[in-house]
Amino acid sequence: MSKSQQLEIKPKRIWSKIILGVVLLIIFFVGGYVLSIYNGVKETINAQMYQPLPSINQIQSEKKIVKKEPVNFLLLGINKQYGGKGTAETLLVISLNPKTGSMNLITIPRDTRAVMVGKETEDKINKINNAYSYGGADMAIESVENLLDLELDYYVQLNLAGVTELIDGLGGITINNELDIEIEEANIKLTPGELHLSGTQAYRYVEMLASYQGDEIDFTAIQDEIFGAIIQKGTTSITINKLETFADFLGDNVTTNLDFNNIEYLLQNYTGVQNNVTQYVLDGSKETIDDVIYLIVPDEEIEKVQQMIKEDDLEI
C-alpha cells in the first residue's frame, strides 16, 4: 500500500531509545572490549569526558558502585543546533540494581511542568527541559531530583548530533525496511527491503517517519530496529582501525561524572541488569498556562515511580 502525506518536520522526542542504546553500547556492549585493548580510550574518558558536578556527591556515588548498590543515572540528550547551552530533548532516569539484576527506565517528557532548582532560578516554574538551558547539567540534575524526589548518582550528557557521527564511524547501519510508502511533498519513496543508512540518513529516516501519519507505521518497532542495528554493528565491527573514531566520538560528544574506574566497576558488576528491563513514561495531562502547553504530572504519578524503584530495591 502506498500513501501520500504532508510532511511537517518539528522537533520531536524520537531518539530516546536510540540514545539509550548508544550509552549502553559505550558502557556494557563495547566497553569491556574497548577498555581492555585500547589505552587511549582511558585517556579520553578521564581527560575529556569526565566532569564531576557540585549537584552530585561524587564520593558517595563511587562508594555505591564499589559496594554494588543500586544507582540512579540521568541521561541527557542535548540538542545544540540553536546555539547557547542547548536544550535537553531527552531526559531519562536509569535505575540499575545489580542485586536483582534489573533496570528501570523512566522517561520524563520534555514538556513536564516543574520547579527549576538552582542559582538565580530557584522556585521558577517552567518545562523540565529548560532547566538545562538555564543552568546546564547541574540545574537539570537538581530539578529532576526535586521533581521525582529521587537521588541521582551519575549523569551522562550526550550531544544528539554525535549519534549520527557514531553511526558514520561504525560504517553505517543496515536495517530491514518493511514499509511501502510515498511522501510526494518530500520526494521520498520507500519500498520493502534492506536499507544501508549513513548517520545523517538514519536520523532523517526516523525524523521522517515520526512526522508521517500513516496507520501502517509501528514507530516503536522502527526505533527498536535502529537501536538493534547500532548495537549489532557496534558489537561486531569494532576493530583497531575504528577505535580511534570511537574514542573521538566519546571525547567530542559525551560528558559524564563516570571516570574510567567507575565504568570498569559497572562492567564487572552491573551488566546483568540488561536482562530485566522495565520502561515507563511519566504520565499526566496537557494544560495551557499563560499560553504555554505543559504536561502536568500529578503527585500520585510521582509516587508510582518512587514505588516502582523502591520495590525493585527491596527485591532480593
Per-residue pLDDT of the chain (316 residues; tens, 9 = 90+): 333 333 333 334 445 555 655 666 666 655 666 666 666 677 778 888 899 999 999 999 999 999 999 999 998 988 876 667 788 888 889 899 998 888 888 889 889 999 999 866 666 889 999 999 989 999 999 999 999 999 999 999 988 778 787 788 778 888 887 777 665 655 567 788 888 888 888 777 776 766 665 555 665 566 667 766 776 676 566 565 566 667 777 788 889 999 888 888 888 888 888 778 888 889 999 999 999 999 999 999 999 998 888 765 555 4
Q: Which three cell numbers stand for residue 217?
A: 507505521
**Do 53 and 86 share a domain, yes or no?**
yes
Can you tell me the distance from the alpha carbon of 208 to that of 15, in angstroms, rounded to the nearest whole number?
13
Main-chain phi, psi angles of 286, to 5 degrees: -75, 135
Same domain, yes or no, for 226 and 292?
no
The span from the CA of 64 to the CA of 48, in Å, is 24
Does residue 103 sit in the same domain as residue 217?
Answer: no
List the domain range (segments joined by +) for residue 177: 166-236
How many domains is the chain partitioned into structurally?
A: 2
39/106 same-domain check: yes
CA distance 267 to 265: 5
- Residues 38, 172, single domain; the answer is no
Do 134 and 181 fall within a single domain? no
Q: Is 4 inside a domain boundary?
A: no
- Among residues 158, 146, 154, 147, the alpha carbon closest in space to that of 71 is found at 154
Do 174 and 160 lie in a common domain?
no
Q: Is residue 8 part of a domain?
A: no
- Do 153 and 293 share a domain, yes or no? yes
Please report how the helices 219-237 and 16-24 are oriented relative to each other, as an axis angle in degrees rounded to 10. 20
One domain, residues 39 and 76: yes
Domain identity same for 145 and 274:
yes
Q: Are 265 and 175 part of one and the same domain?
A: no
Q: Model pTM?
A: 0.79
Residues 59 and 98 reside in one and the same domain: yes
CATH of the domain at 209: 3.40.630
| Structural domain ending residue among the three candidates 236, 271, 291 | 236
In a domain, 279, yes or no: yes
The CATH number of the domain where 135 resides is what?
3.30.420.590
In a domain, 5, yes or no: no
> pLDDT tens across 162-191, in order?
878 778 877 888 888 777 766 565 556 778
Question: Is 281 a domain residue?
Answer: yes
Q: Is residue 119 part of a domain?
A: yes
Q: 158, 137, 188: which is closest to 251 by C-alpha?
A: 158
